[in-house]
Amino acid sequence: MSTPSQASSGRYQKEGWVQWPGEPELSFQFARTLGGAQEGASLISECFAAASRMTPGDTESWYREWQVFAQKSEWRAEEAFARGRFRTASSNWLRASNYYRSSEFYLAHDDPRRVDTFDSVERCSHRYLAGLHPAGEVVAIPYENGAHLDAYFLPCADSSVRSPVVIAFGGLDEYKDELLHEMPKHALTRGMSLLLVDMPGQGGTLRRQKIVNRPDTHVPVGACIDYLLTRSDVDPAKIALYGASVGGVYAARAASFEKRLVATVSDSVMFDMSSLFEGWLATPERLIWRHLKWVFGCATAEEVVEKAKAFRLEGVINRIDMPYLVLQGTEDWLGLKTATDTYDYARANGVDAELRLFDPAETGAAHCQIDNPTLGQEFICDWLAGHLGIDQGAVRARMSALA
């Protein structure tokens, strides 16, 4: 195990800031929290202060130090709110939510602190949503057998029109509360509403209802569309889809069968998850196996590899009949080929596909652009706005008139 003094050996590399060169997985997760500072979900000094007190490789110190700043931020939010300082309260609730999310990350799925901490994530997210203008909504999307999908609906600021909407979800370990700071600033101001949803195998849907992932992802996505069609503030002809990482696979598979969508984005994607995971069997100590077994509902790594065969994109995404965007960083730890294979296969089968690569020269070259999430979301939301038929100039004019 590394020692705390090694925390000072961080450096900027092609994939962005690497806090602990000997601990690539923890360094990636640290950069993920640090990147949230660009969107108001962390503070740079607080992130480095937390890291300075962690023992690299010790996930218990990871939990402990993020908890410190999560609790401080929530306390600040409560105190500011009580004094009528609502902007300060809102900023601190968003940061508290992200710090709680970070602290939860490496807990065992059956650790009682896992659900307790997730409760804290949502508690702070809900307070943040309530303070938005217009306010965001906490919704439960009807699913199968009396279950539901946990979600947040964020209406765009332009309430004068039925708005286009983007259904968005994360991947193996990202859920709706992290998307809450990644997407809204970019999507809402461009005239899109958002439905941030915990798919099967994600967030509250997994933690509270024990619902694991499934390859026929058009079923839960279809449930999301059914819900959106009940809303009078949504344009039913302008619904798009966004998924990140494993969620990029979910999005591609859903778009292959759900024809009520008009555009789809895979922000990092895996053409053949099973083959990729099979290559990791030689390193069973990797922390990612803990998440994979939990999300896939499998007892062993070998079972994960077998179940993942059903998530392959070959023979499926040739059915996509809408514009399809694939993004990948050239330094993505998944590799570049898994994205280029997806794009090449889609194009070869007549899909209107586009590939956007981010390289170290511009940054954003890491997995899902975690080293520069702003750059990724600007491109994604501009692309979505274009394919949803949004005139950003007209949106800006209407919003200025309402101000």
Could you list the active site residues?
A: 245
**Pair 311, 275: CB distance under 8 Å:** no
According to DSSP, the residues that pair with 234 across neighbouring strands are: 163
Torsion of CA 58, 61, 66, 67, to 10 degrees: 140
159 burial via Cβ count (<10 Å: 0-12, 13-18, 19+) = middle
Exposure on the CB side of residue 339, measured as CA atoms within 13 A:
29
Describe the strand order of the beta sheet including 193-197 as a list of residue ranges: 137-142, 148-154, 193-197, 163-169, 234-244, 263-267, 324-329, 353-358
Three-state SS for 10?
coil
Q: Check if the beta carbon of residue 233 is closer than 8 Å to that of residue 189.
A: no
Range 91-112 burial, b when 16+ CB lie within 10 A, else e: bbbbbbbbbbbbbbbbbeeeee
Beta strands, E only, 181-233: 193-197
Contacting residues for 302 by C-beta, under 8 A, at least 6 apart: 281
Q: Are 266 and 249 in contact (CB under 8 A)?
A: yes
